[in-house]
Amino acid sequence: MEQQTRTVPVLIEVRDPLKEVEPGEQPLLFPGMFSQVAIDGRQMKDIFALPRRALQIDGTVWVAAEGKLARRRVQVLRADGQMVFVTGSSQDLAGSGPEPLREGDLVVVTLLAAPVEGMPVRIETAVREDGETTTGSLELLPELAG
SS3 52: helix
| Gyration radius (Cα) of the chain, Å | 23
- Res 92: pLDDT: 53
Confidence at residue 89, expressed as pLDDT on a 0 to 100 scale: 60
Average the pLDDT over 11-20 and give the result: 74
Our CA dihedral for 75, 77, 79, 83, rounded to 10 degrees, sits at -70
pLDDT of residue 62 exceeding 90: yes
pLDDT of residue 38: 81
Convert the pLDDT of each residue in 102-136 to its tens digit: 888 889 988 888 888 999 988 877 777 777 766 66
In the chain, alpha helices (H): none
Task: Tell me the whole-structure pTM to 2 decimals.
Answer: 0.63
pLDDT digits (tens, 9 = 90+) for 133-146: 666 666 666 554 44
- Across 88-115, average pLDDT: 77
| φ and ψ at residue 85, rounded to 5 degrees | -110, 120
Distance CA 118, CA 115 (A): 9
Distance CA 145, CA 117 (A): 10
Task: Report the chain's mean pLDDT, rounded to a whole number.
Answer: 79
Question: Starting from the edge strand earliest in sequence, which strands make up the sheet with 83-87, in order?
Answer: 47-51, 83-87, 75-80
Q: What's the pLDDT at 74?
A: 92
Q: Up-side HSE of residue 131: CA atoms within 13 Å toward CB?
A: 0
Q: Residue 68: how many CA atoms within 13 Å on its side-chain side?
A: 11
- Using an 8 Å Cβ cutoff, are 60 and 98 in contact? yes
State phi, psi for 87 to the nearest 5 degrees.
-130, 150
